[in-house]
């Protein structure tokens, strides 16, 4: 239903006339000493007919008069405040970020079914089960455990390249914040950590030298080791326990549909 018609239905369901809206808005505008909050009956008719859209002040007035949440009125115009996190990621795609993703119920059911089967063989995933034929399969068995968050590797972040390419999603266990000293036989066994810096995030191997946290890049990345004072300049978010990365370098904008419609994760609303 068009936004104007929805507003008209809100008004008529409450038994309020356009003249009554005008009189109530005059009181609000007078109390605020601001004419922007005033709504004339002629303008309201235009609004309900879809000939105009309300500004923030008039939308505030309608929210008061109709006794409806301001954010609910904003959503009538296809503007969801909860989308801010998603589009912040898109707007700042060059930077590594901490995301607020959760497994969808469909993905959880799919993964549970595969795990219960006990299959250890490589298999072809049915196209109808996974959109865009993409997957993000956790290797741990506890899908719903607490402390699981996701990170996005910025398009200009080459720290772990080519093991983890820019534009990748990483799965982070926030319960594993203590650095582990492991003698690894290969790059995959060496623990990777997601780290919060003062105004940024990083994803890398880590070493602790005294109170200094060293961010160790992949040896093929040509990036330099970075040093931060642990606790003041850097905090460990958690250990990376899985990642979804391309086997080829992605195009600059390839990550956008991945963020907006990833098959096995969905945006969780800000709590």
Higher confidence at residue 94 or residue 175?
175
Digit-coded pLDDT (tens) for 239-254: 999 888 878 775 554 4
- Would you give the distance in Å from CA 184 to the centre of its chain? 33
Digit-coded pLDDT (tens) for 29-71: 999 999 999 999 999 999 999 888 899 999 999 999 999 999 8
- Torsion sign across C-alpha atoms 237, 242, 246, 247: positive
Q: Is the pLDDT of residue 117 over 50?
A: yes
Q: Could you tell me the strand order of the sheet in which 148-152 lies?
A: 97-99, 148-152, 169-173, 234-244, 192-197, 201-209, 212-216, 226-229
Determine the pLDDT at residue 237.
Answer: 92
Higher confidence at residue 186 or residue 108?
186
- Confirm if 61 and 85 have CB atoms less than 8 A apart: no
Determine the pLDDT at residue 91.
Answer: 78
Q: Is 166 exposed, middle or buried (0-12, 13-18, 19+ CB in 10 A)?
A: buried
Report all structural domains of the chain as residue ranges with CATH numbers, in order of start. Answer: 3-79 (1.10.260.40), 84-267 (2.10.109.10)
Q: Is the pLDDT of residue 180 over 90?
A: no
Separation of alpha carbons 176 and 156, rounded Å = 26
pTM for the predicted model, two decimal places: 0.56
Q: Is the pLDDT of residue 87 over 80?
A: no
Separation of alpha carbons 197 and 164, rounded Å = 19
């Amino acid at each position: 239903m068009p936004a104007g018609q929805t507003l008209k239905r809100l008004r008529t369901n409450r038994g309020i006339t356009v003249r009554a809206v005008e009189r109530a808005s005059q009181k609000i505008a007078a109390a605020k000493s601001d004419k922007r909050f005033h709504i004339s009956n002629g303008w309201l008719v235009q609004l309900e007919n879809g000939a105009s859209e309300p500004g923030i002040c008039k939308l505030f007035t309608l929210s008061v008069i109709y006794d409806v949440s301001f954010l609910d009125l904003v959503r009538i115009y296809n503007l969801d405040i909860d989308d801010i996190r998603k589009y912040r990621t898109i707007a700042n795609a060059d930077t590594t970020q901490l995301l607020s993703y959760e497994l969808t119920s469909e993905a959880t059911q799919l993964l549970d079914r595969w795990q219960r089967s006990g299959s250890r063989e490589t298999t072809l995933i049915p196209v109808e089960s996974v959109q865009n034929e993409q997957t993000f399969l956790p290797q741990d068995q506890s899908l719903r455990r607490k402390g699981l968050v996701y990170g996005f590797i910025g398009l200009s972040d080459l720290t772990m390249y080519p093991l983890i390419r820019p534009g990748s999603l990483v799965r982070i266990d926030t319960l594993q914040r203590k650095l582990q000293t492991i003698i690894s036989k290969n790059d995959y066994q060496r623990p990777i950590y997601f780290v919060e810096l003062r105004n940024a995030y990083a994803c890398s191997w880590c070493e602790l030298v005294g109170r200094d946290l060293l961010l160790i890049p992949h040896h093929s990345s040509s990036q330099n080791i970075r040093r931060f004072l642990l606790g003041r300049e850097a905090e460990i978010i958690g250990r990376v326990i899985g990642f979804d990365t391309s086997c080829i370098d992605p195009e600059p904008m390839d990550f956008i549909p991945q963020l907006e419609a990833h098959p096995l994760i969905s945006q969780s609303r800000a709590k």
